[in-house]
A and B are shown apart, each in its own frame.
Chain A
Amino acid sequence: MMTTLQEPILSAPIRQPLAGLNAVLVAIGLVAAFAVPAVADDYWLSSIIIPAIVMGLAGVGLNLLFGYAGLVTLGSAAFMSIGAFTTYNLLLRAPLLPLPVVLILAGLFAAAAGVVFGLPSLRIKGFYLGASTLGAQFFFEWLFTNFSWFSNDSQSLTISAPRLQILGYDLQSAAGRYCLVIATTALLIALAFAIVKSRLGREWMAVRDMDTAASVIGIPVARRKLQAFGISSFFLGITGALWAFAYLGTADAHAFNLDKSFQILFIVIIGGVATIYGNFLGASFIVLMPIVIDRLSLVFDLSFLADQGALANLQRIIFGAIIILLLIKEPDGLTSLIKRGWASLRRRGAPT
């Protein structure tokens, strides 16, 4: 049972050389990732690459819970807001703490909240669980709007990072913010892979596929569920801090509203459930597609067709249509599409 859950295609013997290859690929990927600021300008970094990566990371956070442990939540954005507000308050009120420590603490605060709001998952499932996690969504939006202490009594209830630096190196520039994002993301992806491949990840999948069977073979289901909530929220908390400070530059509680939670859910669904890289595909799609459509209408100057207002609405319709089409044609998400495309290309290329 365990082996089929893990990786049904690859058997143990060919895994060994592949692992070496993977390591090389990962190393190349990392070098390439850090070289991006050399080729991309501010526009690409600040408004396309950074939000796509951060949203992808949020997708990873939700996917751990939703894709691997089979638990639903509609409160992802709430955990992001906890991360953002915790980071702000720690940077402000404990100025001696370095940024990486602050980010980890922010993740831990979000994780604690995640465990608390994950408690209903022990008794209820599916749609009802989704509805109960809405509680987190509304509670934290209310909390951060009504207690101005969290935003240091700012007039507009917005928070902005007092300082974004590591070891005295200022990360305020687009390249600096990108480096912060990519380094955090690399570490968190590694952590996500480690978790998914570990015994914990396999037990999550067992709980997801059939929790009664899982408890029969001795998996502590309740604890695994709460761990899933905690770890997922840990990821989301750090993501929230990055979203607020490395991307937006500022945030208020409403930046993390229900829409954002749904957006993360769509990223997971479009990218592919129970994948790690797929989330980044989904996020790129969500972040890029509206901009591409907007740009296309600029390049082809469609203003003779309809006025600007109608065009702006038309873009939303096209975006919605693409999502619907994608979900009908490829309900398993972009990852599955690309995987199968790649597999069939290889089959055709292989000598018969």
Chain B
Amino acid sequence: MSLIKKTMGLAAAAAIAVTTMSAPSFAEDGKGQQLYPLFTYRTGPYAPSFIPGGAGIIDYLRYINEVEGGVDGVKILVQECETAYAIERGIECYERYKNGHNGALTAAIYPHSSGLDVALTDKARVDKIPIVSPGGGQNIATDGRVFPYQFPLIFDYWSEAQIIVNYIAQQSGGYDKLKGVKIATLYHDSGYGRDTIEPLGILAKKYGFEDIQVPVPHPGEQQQAQWQQIRRFGADWVFLRGWGVMTPVAIKTAARVGFPANRIIGDIWSGSEDDARPAGTAANGYLAVSVFPPGTDYGIIKTLKEKILDAGKSDLKDNTKFGTVYYNYGVIEAITFVEVLRTGHKKFGNRPLTAAEGQWALENLNIDEKRIAELGAQGLISPLRTTIDNHKGETIAGKIIQWNGQSWDARTDWIKADTSLFADVIKAKAAAYATEKGITPRNAVN
């Protein structure tokens, strides 16, 4: 008897499952709106970096919807989908929202994960959906002729290596003084961490500095041996390519072996408040590359404080995260999305964009100094201009920031990377990829 109940219960559960999964498809209340599928990881090991970042995205889009009345009058519909930073869950989210939601159209998808970005490469090509990864993504996808649907906007780790070397050259008194300088790279031993080995090799050959590569196995909570090695080599600078717990451990271990914090330059994912603060006083003077400068002094951030945070509409639960690196990252990402829509509206009219129109807009994005000023984002973002040939943007720049024990101070203005330096290598890699996959690159003229 109870077995029958159980079986019936199972059947009922299955029925509920089927109806709930197909139910949302006949609602049309999203019509006339632009969908922004928000891929979240509010759970899982990397939740602490997403939570403030996601709030930055939501707050900016809320500001656009409620204060500005939408993008050129088109409201943005935010739909969350939790991935827990797992690729499988992310693929489900992608499939759920690639064709829009309740009548709202999808113009672009921000996967918020380098791994997911790679996993979606083939699917996006088949489905013709633009995949946008600001500050992450695949560097070879800069070549939009081979990767029409991948947009590693704003930044990449090769340029980061260049910016580091540029800063060290400044500090040493010019590129010609780099000869004999020892730069050790302490990297997270993963695809992400290894990404700077090749460009640093090229730069070392060009400028004559000594390139030392030291891997740290995941997750990196034990680094005594690595720092002893760095001391033994007599490194002058350390480029710290950490992720998660590895960064504070590195800073602390450096202090223990007597390596000065102001000679360690963190990567963009090693440069948040949550990377420096846990290291305590050992982090005083620690440097980092920043593409998403923290702070609340920027026009748009002030506006968000007034209209969203103080109005009690912010997605932040912990208001001390306002204006942190990750929060500002979220705002910057949301700005790119809104500017893509504006670019598309100029060509296609003020209505929700399709994925094809979104792709066109992403390839014709031009956020220049004038536009940045209008947005109230001076100092927050550097100019961004994309083309078919260049899906990352022509101006790639980062700032060097320094931890004062409480917060980050900008040490420099935007340092531009010379994209021509690696252009040939990246083109060659993209061409090799095209051959491997049997892709005929698009012609940039068409």
CB neighbors of A among B74-102 (8 A) = 80-82, 84, 87-89, 91-92, 94-96, 98-99
Residue of A nearest to B38 (CB): A308
Chain B residues whose C-beta falls within 8 Å of the C-beta of A160 in the assembled complex: 118, 121-122, 437
How many residues on the B side are at the interface (Cβ–Cβ under 8 A)? Answer: 57
Q: Is A288 an interface residue (CB 8 A)?
A: yes
Does residue A184 face the partner (Cβ distance < 8 Å to B)? Answer: no
The answer to whether A312 touches B20, judged by C-beta atoms less than 8 angstroms apart, is no
Contact call B82/A315, Cβ cutoff below 8 A: yes
A249 — which chain B residues lie within 8 A by C-beta? 91, 119-123
CA A130 to CA B98, docked complex, whole Å: 41
In the complex, chain A residues 74-95 whose Cβ is within 8 Å of any chain B Cβ? 92
Encoded as 1 (CB less than 8 Å from any A CB) or 0, chain B from 300 to 332 comes to: 000000000000000101000000000000000
Is the C-beta of B406 less than 8 angstroms from some C-beta in chain A?
no
Contacts of B195 in A (CB 8 A): 155-156
Q: Which of A152, A292, A313, A330 makes the CB contact (< 8 A) with B21?
A: A292
- Pairwise interchain contact A292-B17, C-beta atoms closer than 8 A: yes
Q: Which residues of A contact B139 (CB under 8 A)?
A: 155
Q: How far is the CA of A315 from the CA of B429 in the complex (A)?
A: 42
Q: Which residues of A contact B23 (CB under 8 A)?
A: 299
- CB neighbors of A among B228-267 (8 A): none
Given contacts A337-B7, A341-B7, contact A248 B88 (CB under 8 A): yes
In the bound complex, how far is the Cα of B430 from the Cα of A280, in angstroms?
40
> Which of A47, A163, A307, A316 meets B96, CB within 8 Å?
A47
* Complex partner residue of A250 from B7, B81, B118, B436, CB under 8 angstroms: B118
With beta carbons under 8 angstroms apart, the residue of A255, A288, A308 that contacts B40 is A308
Q: Digit string of A167-187 for contact with B (CB within 8 Å is 1, else 0)?
A: 000001100000000000000
With A248-B91, A338-B7, A341-B6 already in contact, the answer to whether A309 and B24 are too (CB < 8 A) is no
**Set B1, B43, B191: member contacting A158, Cβ < 8 A:** B191
Of A252, A299, A309, most buried by chain B (CB within 10 Å of CB) is A309
Q: Does B105 belong to the interface (CB within 8 Å)?
A: no
Which chain B residues in 117-160 approach chain A with CB under 8 Å?
118-123, 126-127, 138-140
Closest residue on chain B to residue A92 by CB atoms: B436
A145 contacts B190, CB within 8 Å? yes
Given contacts A47-B95, A145-B190, A158-B191, contact A309 B138 (CB under 8 A): no
Tell me if A313 and B42 are in contact (CB < 8 A).
yes
Contact, CB under 8 Å: B89 / A162:
no
A-chain residues with CB within 8 Å of residue B119 when the two chains form the complex: 158, 248-251
- For B20, list chain A residues within 8 Å (CB): 292, 295-296, 298-299
Known: A309-B51, A345-B4. A337 touches B21 (CB 8 A): no
Q: In the docked arrangement, what's the CA distance between A341 and B4, Å?
A: 5
Residues of B within 8 A of A299 (CB): 20, 23-24
Task: Tell me which residues across on chain A come within 8 A of B7, comparing CB atoms.
Answer: 337-338, 341-342, 345
For residue B59, give the distance in angstroms from its CB to the closest CB of chain A: 14
Q: Which residue of B lies closest to A289 (CB)?
A: B17
How far is it, in angstroms, between the C-alpha of A33 and the C-alpha of B80 when the chains are bound?
33
Contact between B118 and A156 (Cβ–Cβ < 8 Å)? yes
A299 CA / B20 CA spacing, docked (Å): 7
Chain B, 19-48, contact with A by CB distance < 8 Å: what is the 0/1 string?
Answer: 011011000000000000000101100010
Question: Does B173 interact with chain A (Cβ within 8 Å)?
Answer: no
Task: How many A-B residue pairs have C-beta atoms within 8 angstroms? Tell me.
Answer: 136
How many angstroms between the C-alpha atoms of A329 and B121 in the bound complex?
A: 43
A337 and B96 contact, Cβ closer than 8 Å, known pairs A157-B194, A296-B20? no
Taking the closest CB of chain A, its distance from the CB of B384, in whole angstroms, is: 23
Report B-chain residues with C-beta under 8 Å of the C-beta of A145.
189-190
A291 at the interface (CB under 8 A from B): yes
B96 and A155 within 8 A (CB)? no
Residue of B nearest to A45 (CB): B95
Identify the closest chain A residue to B11 (Cβ).
Answer: A341
Contact B43 A337 (CB under 8 A): no
| Complexed CA–CA distance, A67 and B92 (Å) | 31
Chain B nearest CB from A173 CB (Å) reads 6
Q: Chain A, 299-343, contact with B by CB distance < 8 Å: what is the 0/1 string? A: 100000001110011011000000000000110000001101110
Q: Is there contact, CB below 8 Å, between A341 and B17? A: no
Bound-state Cα–Cα, A307 to B47, Å: 14
Partner of A307, one of B3, B43, B92, B317: B317
Within 8 A of B (CB), among A235-257: 247-252, 254-255
Q: Which chain A positions have C-beta within 8 A of B10? A: 337-338
Measured between beta carbons, the chain B residues less than 8 angstroms from A209 are: none
In whole angstroms, what is the CA distance A115 to B158 when docked?
43
Chain B stretch 158-201: residues in CB contact (< 8 A) with chain A: 189-192, 194-195, 198
Q: Are A312 and B191 in contact (CB under 8 A)?
A: no
Query: In the bound complex, how far is the Cα of B91 from the Cα of A51, in angstroms?
Result: 11
How many angstroms from the CA of A155 to the CA of B192 in the assembled complex? 8
Q: Which of A85-107 contact B (CB under 8 A)?
A: 92
6 A–B pairs (Cβ distance < 8 Å), ordered by A:
A42-B99, A47-B92, A156-B118, A161-B122, A298-B20, A309-B47
- What 6 A-B pairs come out closest when comparing CB atoms? A341-B7, A156-B191, A47-B95, A309-B42, A47-B92, A312-B42
